Structure 1
Amino acid sequence: MKKQNVILLLFVIALAVVPLIIHTDGIFSGADEQLVGIVKGVSPDYEPWFNTIWEPPSGEVESFLFAVQAGLGAGFLGYFFGYYRGRNASRTE
């Protein structure tokens, strides 16, 4: 591997690991959960406008569905940019 790639890989690993080391007692919750707490603090009698249609049976299923959604989105974007880059490269030749 090139030296530049190794440095970038170490940087990415550090970005993922350092926050976990620094905040060992931190609570990593989603923005939705934090917002509910803030809204309840400001207006305790607040009622949501609607409820979810389907709630996943567990947090693991919810995480899995989120990962699938992220993977499909990344695959679509990679295909889209690769296709148009290849098409433009073939036109310039």
Structure 2
Amino acid sequence: MSRSSRVNLVLVLLVVIIAAAPLVLGLGRGEEPFSGADAQAESGISEVDPGYEPWFSSVFEPPSGEVESGLFALQAALGAGVLGYCFGVVRTRRRLQGERPGLDDPTPPESDRAA
């Protein structure tokens, strides 16, 4: 097994452990086990100041939690796609610069100079 294969295997195992740890350890048990930051902030504000009125409301309120989760997953997928595309462009540019030596050198090679 090559070194890069071992590194990839270790990274995949770490991701699995990080994802499974909260479920195995029982973290997040309660009324809403995986509530978002907005819901937690709302409950925290309600505890501190029960009469608090929000200054504004959301522009778009999804009809259900499933739709909200789907939109969040779509947003995450689009962001990952854009980020992956940018990394691919940078990697390809670096690889092409390595294949064509002298690309950054402003002086032309000996064969291209006028005699």
Measured on the aligned residues, the alpha-carbon RMSD in Å equals: 1.8
Name the structure, 1 or 2, with higher relative contact order (CA <8 Å, separation 6+): 1
What is the TM-score with the length of structure 2 in the denominator? 0.71
| Structure 1 residue 25 displacement after superposition | 6.3
In terms of fraction of residues, the more helix-rich structure is 1
TM-score (norm 1): 0.86
Aligned length: 93
Alignment of 1:1-93 (within 5 A): 2-23=5-26, 26=29, 27-93=33-99
Deviations 1:7-61 (A, max 9, x none): 3222211111121011166122111111001111111221111111221111111
Q: Larger Rg: 1 or 2?
A: 2
Would you identify which runs of 4 or more consecutive aligned residues in structure 1 move more than 2 Å? 1-8
- Structure 1 window deviating more from structure 2 (82-91 vs 1-10): it is 1-10
Same amino acid, percent of matched pairs: 51
What amino acid does structure 2 have at the position aligned with 1:7?
Answer: V
Question: Distance in 2 between the 1:55 and 1:80 partners?
Answer: 32
Instruction: Report the AA paired with residue 51 of structure 1.
Output: S
Gaps of 5+ in 2: 100-115
